[in-house]
A and B are shown apart, each in its own frame.
Chain A
Amino acid sequence: MIPRHTDTVPADAKWTFATRRVPRDAVTGLAPDVAAAQAGDLVLAHVAEIGQHRRVQLPSGRPSEIYPGDAIVLACGARYAPDQFEGLAEIDPAGADLLAGGGCIGRMVSRNERVRPATRLIPAARLLGADGGALNLRDFALPARPDAGTLPVIAVLGTAMNSGKTLATAQTALGLRRAGWRVAALKGTGTGAFGDYNEYSDTGAHVVADFTDAGMVTTYREPLDRVRAGIESLLGHAAAQGCDIAVIEIADGLFQRETAQIIADPWFRGRISGLVFACGDAVAAAGGVAELARHGLRPDAITGMVSCSPMASAEAETATGIPVLRKSDLADPAEANAMALRAGARWPRAA
């Protein structure tokens, strides 16, 4: 199908989840020079060929089937997903890739053999704001809050994608809420998508936010300073909203570019007051704990797929000396309360 040419964003365009903070009326014009798009710039594109992603995620929290010819508003960004694609925040006017269903458009540079090629998009324009400049997610980020005070932070790290970090984050938030804490469930790094965000929200966490709320469609290939500022902004937001404690997921594995930089950063070691490590088996637990120890970090608990097996859990505990907690343990208010007090959380309505 030949995409429609347009001077404005079509009324029926599907705005993706990554653009959720952008008011529609912020758009005052379009610029056809899509090759100039930078990470975070908003881009109007049309679906050319359906590939791996058959749907995009809407700000309302539901997925939408997409069809050739559909107009979509996305954000230009990179992608780190070993089980799908690696992509860069670059747009070829002749055709671009839907790197993530949450609304990330860029250029795929490699893909996992087990997935289909990326859904192809024909970029139409960059979206412009009132000042004539490109609209970028950073323009709609939460206000920078360089100081989150003393808000205790429980970080969740893992061996890789799909090791159980998101479940661990959500269940810990659930346990903390059940114990009566005002809790923030945050995603510090990754690529924008509503799956994790919704999973956090379903726990009843008082504040849910991710790096997109800090102005990034993805943290992949962003400078460490910016990722760090984004995390501080999320923590500051949580503190400003009256949260007593935050649980923050750091995406992907310990060797992933940004995650490796974060755990090696003294700021991170000083900023967190609790640590949960998600992994798939006992060997991964031992390896992960050893790698973290190299950076002066020691998890308070191990969780993830390993915790599904009592035998694997016993092996992991023996190898590391760290308790292995199932998701039901994390969601247990008594367990979560112990984690909160260990992390230095203070009951604001104390006797």
Chain B
Amino acid sequence: MKPMLPQSFQTSALSEVCVPTAAGRLSARVIRPAIVTAARPLIVLHGISRNAERLAELFRPEAERSGRLIVVPHFDAARWTHFQRPCRAARPDQALIGLIEHLAAAHPELDGAVDLFGHSGGAQLAHRTAMLYPQRFGTLHLAAAGWYCLPDTRMPYPYGLGTRATDPAAAAWLRRKRATLAAYLGRETHIYVGTDDTARDPALRKTRPLDRVQGRTRRDRAHAYRAAFEDAARAAGITPRVTLTELPGCAHDVEQAIATAGLAARVVRGRDS
């Protein structure tokens, strides 16, 4: 029996912080309900529109309804040209972990595992960061990622964990992700994608191998990733805990997904709005 949740039983405080990390400065909005429950805090990662402010507005009512602390980082364009994946040019993963560590001093709830949500480019960063630091995260919510780092060797890094002799720089990332793969595959993971997220728009990465293995659209790729995740988990002797939810009538638009398909409520409260 599900507990009854009032629509809103409290208020929240929203604060903005800018945290210096070893990977660079990262700002964030912190939504702290007046009464914080024992539920894990949630980190919300924006996509290439960098709409952190809007996401904070959209997730704030859910923080108040659930009593969950929510942090919405903002990878601003000036400092974070690259933020979708850790690479030589930028280490958003390190900044994200540094942000959580820094905020934990003021918000002890962040000292434990946190849940992680990302949309589009944010979903790319979310699953790649969780692959590197799986123990730091509880449940992953990956919405409409353009492409993935598959947890198998069918594609060379960064599309998967396969090797490519011509890319020695990938060796370090492969070493790290292979070492943490089993822990990653044990995470509870929810994948979301709009039923209409099928456009091959300019922001979608398109290469022949990527199209062939992961699919031609975000919708196809979400399905491919779920299948790959399940197969890799089973191969590792882990019972996969991965779901895929298609958001009816939604294209590649997080605001639409929240407004019409209750995405924020699904993520924060684990239920339909």
Binding site for B on A (CB under 8 A): 178-180, 323, 329, 332-335, 337-339, 341-342, 346-347, 349-351
| Chain B neighbourhood of A180, CB < 8 A | 97, 100-101, 133, 136
Nearest-CB distance from A184 to chain B (Å)? 18
Q: Within the assembled complex, what's the spacing in Å between the Cα atoms of A341 and B186?
A: 14
| Chain A neighbourhood of B22, CB < 8 A | 178
99-157 of chain B: CB within 8 A of chain A: 100-101, 111-113, 132-139
* Residue among B86, B93, B136 with most chain A CB within 10 A: B136
Q: Does more than half of chain B's interface fall in helix, strand or loop, or is it mixed?
A: helix
Q: Within the assembled complex, what's the spacing in Å between the Cα atoms of A346 and B183?
A: 11
| Chain B neighbourhood of A341, CB < 8 A | 134-135, 179-180, 183
Contact across chains for B112 and A349 when beta carbons are under 8 A apart: yes
| Chain B neighbourhood of A339, CB < 8 A | 179
Contact across chains for B137 and A337 when beta carbons are under 8 A apart: no
Contact across chains for B176 and A334 when beta carbons are under 8 A apart: yes
With A179-B97, A341-B179 already in contact, the answer to whether A333 and B112 are too (CB < 8 A) is: no
Can you list 21 residue pairs at the A/B interface with Cβ under 8 Å?
A: A178-B98, A178-B101, A180-B100, A180-B133, A323-B171, A323-B172, A333-B93, A334-B93, A334-B94, A334-B133, A334-B176, A337-B133, A337-B135, A337-B180, A341-B180, A347-B113, A349-B111, A349-B112, A350-B113, A350-B135, A351-B137
Q: Within the assembled complex, what's the spacing in Å between the Cα atoms of A162 and B93?
A: 33
With A178-B94, A179-B97, A350-B135 already in contact, the answer to whether A329 and B172 are too (CB < 8 A) is: yes
Q: Within the assembled complex, what's the spacing in Å between the Cα atoms of A335 and B133?
A: 10
Nearest-CB distance from A48 to chain B (Å)? 48
Contact across chains for B175 and A349 when beta carbons are under 8 A apart: no
Q: Within the assembled complex, what's the spacing in Å between the Cα atoms of A184 and B175?
A: 24
| Chain A neighbourhood of B40, CB < 8 A | 351
B100's closest neighbor in chain A, by CB? A180
| Chain B neighbourhood of A350, CB < 8 A | 112-113, 135
Q: Within the assembled complex, what's the spacing in Å between the Cα atoms of A342 and B132?
A: 12
With A178-B94, A180-B100, A350-B135 already in contact, the answer to whether A337 and B111 are too (CB < 8 A) is: no
* Residues of B in contact, count (CB < 8 Å): 30
- Cβ-Cβ contact count across A and B, 8 Å cutoff: 66
| Chain A neighbourhood of B93, CB < 8 A | 333-334
Q: Within the assembled complex, what's the spacing in Å between the Cα atoms of A329 and B94?
A: 13
A180's closest neighbor in chain B, by CB? B101
Contact across chains for B138 and A351 when beta carbons are under 8 A apart: yes
Contact across chains for B132 and A334 when beta carbons are under 8 A apart: yes
* Residue among A337, A347, A351 with most chain B CB within 10 A: A351
Q: Within the assembled complex, what's the spacing in Å between the Cα atoms of A323 and B86?
A: 20
B129's closest neighbor in chain A, by CB? A334
| Chain B neighbourhood of A323, CB < 8 A | 171-172, 175
Q: Within the assembled complex, what's the spacing in Å between the Cα atoms of A39 and B146?
A: 66
B135's closest neighbor in chain A, by CB? A347
Q: Within the assembled complex, what's the spacing in Å between the Cα atoms of A274 and B137?
A: 24
Q: Within the assembled complex, what's the spacing in Å between the Cα atoms of A99 and B26?
A: 49
Contact across chains for A334 and B139 when beta carbons are under 8 A apart: no
Nearest-CB distance from A176 to chain B (Å)? 12
A348's closest neighbor in chain B, by CB? B112
A337's closest neighbor in chain B, by CB? B133
Contact across chains for A337 and B101 when beta carbons are under 8 A apart: no
| Chain A neighbourhood of B113, CB < 8 A | 347, 349-351
Q: Within the assembled complex, what's the spacing in Å between the Cα atoms of A347 and B183?
A: 11
Q: Within the assembled complex, what's the spacing in Å between the Cα atoms of A166 and B245?
A: 50
| Chain B neighbourhood of A329, CB < 8 A | 172
Q: Within the assembled complex, what's the spacing in Å between the Cα atoms of A346 and B172?
A: 22
Nearest-CB distance from B22 to chain A (Å)? 6
Q: Within the assembled complex, what's the spacing in Å between the Cα atoms of A342 and B138?
A: 20
